[in-house]
């Protein structure tokens, strides 16, 4: 633990580095990559603007916005420079707010490589140097450098790491390593894609965007003749036909979108051990990623099995890690949506926690059970009140009540399934929790990664004698919830976890022979 | 050092309470907030020239009603809930009113301690102490302490933070 200790304390290293080394700019090819990225980002907007332009009422702000993006992209290259001195890594950046990041090299804990398709076309990689500090404030990002330079850079960055487990000097060059891919990803796994609902979420985003343009540009879309004509046709169809048809269209469209997205992002998924402490995770036609996964950073596993995916026996897993930055939720994907057994197997390859992912959990009892149904009923009642109000005002026809034929049994089912999913358990070294139905997640969190507890009780939870116990940690999304635990079990659980941490003081940090925790 | 005993001991309530002026502070703070909100509503009515519109008048009346309930209930309720304690092993803070939270952090995980004083709290001589760990979800905030008490707490915790070993990052 000695390494992480220094990160918390101000040391002599904090004094400014007096080096006179010159500042270096990032790879000049970024002058092309930055603007292209901005254009791609604004592409949907620009398309809509062009369509809109053909019927008058051109949304000029789209052009202003996208050209502004390009200018900023170019400026970013000119304003970012870095240097690596004997003792520090420094980055200067920022267009309006100039920022100087200076990190002592002995605090560097990880080097992650992450590149988009655009970077790869130009032979570039984004390198992120992590310091183990959790808030991501002093995470150094080199966007971008030549891919060929990365192995050497990586080695240099990590040469100061006081790591007992990995003799980096002796580590073979990346090129010589025989790596075994232990993912069994197949193209046929794409059959799970429609069940991940990623297609539905994409469609929701697009629809929201279109409606927003419609709203801000005074009915722009309805002025397009084609749309106008189609809307006229649709208005004449009977409601039932309309509902059936639109459902079919949405299901098909969402599935297609999901399949395409799946293939784009997970094609050729491979995960392999480069050296004792580094996992190389590559996936996607678009994206490659290389993650340093070592004992200091790994804090657990998260298994996601949303209702729809669970129905077909699928799941996916992430590794919960520190220092990945909160934008990505602090997790690294280790197994894409696919068969559940495979998701569990990969997790077990990385940390021996098989039982934690498969064993039965401790249920939260009768009161938690009742609360699931109370909440489902509340939801249905609120919807009913909204429907009633809308009807009284004359917004909707009485046919809206037919929706409750679906809503009521649906919420009862969700309540039942949510209770079934609710549970926790305490294994030696790990806390396990599971909750949710539509988006069920099971987390396995290392007890020595837990750095505090929050016991949260709403008014209704107090009346029911329940509490939500939240374990806070520096890894992943920083908080892992055990919802609706019987209140009398809360303190004993906290004590039990703490007793474990005390009994095995920092076992993982001081085991030089075992690079990854295997329990 | 044993955190267990520290935490087991905490099944009783933590002993520290906010300043005796905290109730007044929360009352004034809430009145300020509601006044601002009502002023916005009035401004809207002024700009749109809807002084007699029943919906707007109803909205204003609702604001006043909710404000009165909130201002008369919240501060006392809060005061009866808020507790804090710093033992040799851990820090405990309880806060909230409708939704209540108890936060525990082993003292060995403490990272930074800062005190903050807004305009109103400066006038009233109150300080809020915020204690962070390496987790962004786990900050402990001790609200509305007397300045002197807060200084003491900050000094003590800062001393502890200096000696700390790991922060589990």
Helix (H, G, I), strand (E, B) or coil at A134: coil
Other C-beta atoms closer than 10 Å to the C-beta of A3 total 19
Residue A164 has pLDDT above 90, yes or no: no
Task: Please give the Cα distance from A331 to A469 (Å, whole number).
Answer: 21
Smallest Cβ–Cβ distance between B3 and the set A449, A502, A506 belongs to: A502
Q: Which residue of B has its CA nearest to A131?
A: B169
pLDDT at A517: 39
The burial class, CB within 10 Å (0-12 / 13-18 / 19+), for A139 is buried
Residue A416 has pLDDT above 70, yes or no: yes
Residue of higher predicted confidence among A414 and A275: A414
Residue A215 has pLDDT above 50, yes or no: yes
CB atoms B137 and A454 under 8 Å? yes
**A137 band by pLDDT with thresholds 50, 70 and 90:** low
Task: Give the containing element (helix H, strand E) for A316.
Answer: strand A314-321
Residue of higher predicted confidence among B168 and A318: A318
Helix (H, G, I), strand (E, B) or coil at A447: helix
Question: Looking at this predicted complex, what is its ipTM?
Answer: 0.88
Task: Please give the Cα distance from A383 to A390 (Å, whole number).
Answer: 10
Look over chain A and give the mean of its residue pLDDT values, rounded to a whole number.
80
Region A6-12: what's the mean pLDDT? 38
Half-sphere exposure of A417 (CA within 13 A, CB side): 18
pLDDT at A154: 82
Name the least confident of A46-60, A419-433, B73-87, B119-133: A46-60
Burial of A434-471, coded b for 16+ CB within 10 Å and e otherwise, reads bbbbeebbbbbbbbbbbbbbbbbbbeebeebebbbbbb
Residue of higher predicted confidence among B9 and A231: A231
CB atoms A5 and B166 under 8 Å? yes
pLDDT at A328: 60
Chain A touched by B163 (CB under 8 Å)? no
Task: Please give the Cα distance from B98 to B104 (Å, whole number).
Answer: 20
The whole-angstrom distance between A496's CA and the closest CA on chain B is 8
**A519 band by pLDDT with thresholds 50, 70 and 90:** very low
Task: Please give the Cα distance from A439 to B128 (Å, whole number).
Answer: 37
CB atoms A506 and B11 under 8 Å? no
Residue of higher predicted confidence among A107 and B154: B154
Smallest Cβ–Cβ distance between B168 and the set A9, A474, A494 belongs to: A474
pLDDT at B64: 95
Name the least confident of A165-169, A449-453, B93-97: A165-169
Smallest Cβ–Cβ distance between A459 and the set B99, B135, B169 belongs to: B99
CB atoms B11 and A491 under 8 Å? yes
CB within 8 Å of A405: residues ≥ 6 apart: none
Residue A52: closest CA among A250, A311, A227, A296: A227
Q: Where are the beta strands (DSSP E) in A37-95?
A: 81-84, 88-93
CB atoms A448 and B168 under 8 Å? yes
Task: Give the containing element (helix H, strand E) for A306.
Answer: strand A298-306
Residue A112: closest CA among A301, A282, A304, A269: A282
pLDDT at A243: 82
What are the tokens at A189?
């796994």
CA distances from A53 to A57, A60, A62, A69, A224 (A): 6, 9, 11, 21, 10
Chain B touched by A505 (CB under 8 Å)? no
Q: Which residue of A has its CA nearest to B168?
A: A449
Name the least confident of A49-58, B47-56, B113-122: A49-58
CB within 8 Å of A513: residues ≥ 6 apart: A165
Is there a cis peptide before residue A53, judged by omega within 30 degrees of 0? no
Task: Please give the Cα distance from A393 to A368 (Å, whole number).
Answer: 38
Following DSSP, what letter does each residue of A331-344 receive, concatenated?
Answer: EEEEEEEEEHHHHH
CB atoms A451 and B133 under 8 Å? yes
Chain B touched by A3 (CB under 8 Å)? no
Q: Taking the model in full, what pTM does it have?
A: 0.78
Task: Please give the Cα distance from A255 to A252 (Å, whole number).
Answer: 5
**A322 band by pLDDT with thresholds 50, 70 and 90:** confident
Residue A393 has pLDDT above 60, yes or no: yes
Q: In chain B, which residues have their Cβ closer than 8 Å to the Cβ of A458?
A: 98-99
pLDDT at A12: 42
Chain A touched by B137 (CB under 8 Å)? yes
CB within 8 Å of A208: residues ≥ 6 apart: none
**A259 band by pLDDT with thresholds 50, 70 and 90:** very high
Strand order in the sheet with A88-93: A24-25, A81-84, A88-93, A99-104
* Percent of chain A scoring above 90 in pLDDT: 27
pLDDT at A203: 84
pLDDT at B87: 86
CB atoms A495 and B8 under 8 Å? yes
Chain A touched by B52 (CB under 8 Å)? no
Interface of A with B in 14-43 (CB under 8 A): none
Q: What is the pLDDT of residues A123-132, one digit of tens each?
A: 888 888 876 6
Residue of higher predicted confidence among A103 and A318: A318
Residue A293: closest CA among A142, A504, A475, A106: A475
Chain A touched by B133 (CB under 8 Å)? yes
CA distances from A87 to A17, A18, A101, A106, A159 (A): 8, 10, 13, 8, 12
The burial class, CB within 10 Å (0-12 / 13-18 / 19+), for B19 is buried
**A474 band by pLDDT with thresholds 50, 70 and 90:** confident
The burial class, CB within 10 Å (0-12 / 13-18 / 19+), for A396 is middle
Longest CA span, chain A: 77
Q: What is the pLDDT of residues B86-124, one digit of tens each?
A: 988 889 999 999 999 999 988 888 888 888 888 999 999
Q: ∠ at Cα A259 (A258, A264), nearest 5°?
A: 100
pLDDT at A391: 87
* Percent of chain A scoring above 70 in pLDDT: 81
């Amino acid at each position: 633990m000695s390494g992480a200790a220094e990160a918390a304390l101000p040391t002599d290293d904090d004094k400014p580095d007096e080096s006179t080394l010159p500042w270096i700019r990032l790879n000049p090819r970024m002058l092309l990559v930055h603007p292209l990225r901005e254009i791609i980002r604004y592409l949907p907007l620009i398309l809509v603007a062009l369509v809109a332009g053909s019927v008058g009422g051109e949304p000029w702000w789209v052009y202003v916005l996208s050209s502004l993006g390009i200018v900023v992209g170019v400026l970013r290259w000119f304003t970012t420079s870095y240097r690596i001195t004997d003792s520090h890594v420094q980055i200067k950046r920022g267009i309006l707010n100039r920022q100087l990041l200076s990190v002592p090299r002995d605090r560097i804990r990880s080097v992650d490589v992450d590149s988009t398709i655009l970077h790869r076309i130009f032979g570039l990689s984004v390198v992120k140097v992590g310091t183990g500090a959790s808030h991501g404030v002093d995470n150094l990002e080199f966007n971008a450098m030549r891919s060929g330079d990365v192995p050497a850079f990586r080695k240099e960055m990590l040469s100061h790491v006081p790591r007992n487990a990995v003799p980096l000097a002796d580590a073979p060059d990346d090129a010589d390593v025989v790596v075994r891919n232990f993912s069994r990803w197949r193209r046929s796994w794409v059959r799970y894609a429609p069940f991940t609902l990623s297609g539905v979420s994409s469609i929701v985003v697009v629809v929201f965007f279109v409606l927003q343009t419609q709203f801000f540009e005074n009915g722009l879309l309805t002025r397009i003749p084609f749309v106008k004509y189609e809307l006229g046709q649709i208005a004449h169809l009977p409601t039932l036909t309309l509902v059936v048809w639109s459902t079919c269209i949405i299901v098909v469209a969402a599935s297609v979108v999901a399949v395409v997205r799946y293939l784009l992002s997970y094609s050729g998924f491979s995960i392999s051990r480069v050296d004792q402490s580094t996992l190389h995770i590559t996936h996607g036609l678009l994206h490659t990623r290389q993650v340093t996964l070592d004992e200091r950073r790994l804090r657990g596993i998260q298994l996601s099995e949303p209702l729809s995916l669970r129905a077909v026996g699928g799941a996916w897993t992430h590794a919960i890690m520190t220092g990945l930055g909160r934008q990505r939720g602090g997790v690294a994907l280790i197994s894409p949506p696919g068969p559940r057994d495979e998701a569990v197997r990969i997790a077990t390859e990385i940390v021996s926690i098989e039982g934690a992912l498969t064993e039965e959990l401790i249920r939260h009892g009768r009161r938690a059970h009742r609360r699931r149904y109370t909440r489902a009923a509340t939801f249905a009642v609120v919807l009913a009140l909204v429907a009633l109000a809308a009807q009284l005002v004359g917004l909707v026809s009485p046919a809206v009540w037919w929706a409750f034929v679906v809503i009521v049994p649906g919420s009862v089912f969700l309540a039942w399934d949510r209770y079934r999913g609710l549970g926790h358990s305490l294994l030696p070294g790990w806390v396990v929790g599971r909750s949710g139905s539509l988006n069920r997640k099971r987390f396995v969190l290392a007890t020595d990664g837990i750095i505090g507890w929050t016991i949260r009780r709403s008014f209704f939870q107090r009346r029911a004698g329940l509490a939500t116990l939240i374990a806070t940690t520096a890894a992943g999304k920083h908080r892992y919830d055990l919802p609706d635990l019987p209140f009398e079990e809360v303190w004993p659980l906290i004590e039990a976890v703490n007793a474990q941490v005390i009994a095995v003081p920092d076992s993982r940090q001081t085991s030089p022979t075992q690079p990854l925790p295997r329990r | 050092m044993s955190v267990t005993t520290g935490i087991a001991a905490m099944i009783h309530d933590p002993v520290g309470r906010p300043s005796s002026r905290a109730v007044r502070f929360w009352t004034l703070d809430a009145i300020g907030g509601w006044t601002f909100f009502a002023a916005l509503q009035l401004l809207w009515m002024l700009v749109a020239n809807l002084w007699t519109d029943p919906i707007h008048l109803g909205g204003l009346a609702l604001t006043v009603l909710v404000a009165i309930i909130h201002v008369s209930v919240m501060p006392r309720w809060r005061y009866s809930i808020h507790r804090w304690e710093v033992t040799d092993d851990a820090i405990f803070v309880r806060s909230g009113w409708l939704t209540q939270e108890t936060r525990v952090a082993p003292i060995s995980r403490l990272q930074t301690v800062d005190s903050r004083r807004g305009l109103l709290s400066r006038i009233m001589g109150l300080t809020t102490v915020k204690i962070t760990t390496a987790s962004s979800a786990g900050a402990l905030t001790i609200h509305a302490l007397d300045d002197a008490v807060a200084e003491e707490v900050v000094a003590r915790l800062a001393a502890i933070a200096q000696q700390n070993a790991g922060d589990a990052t």
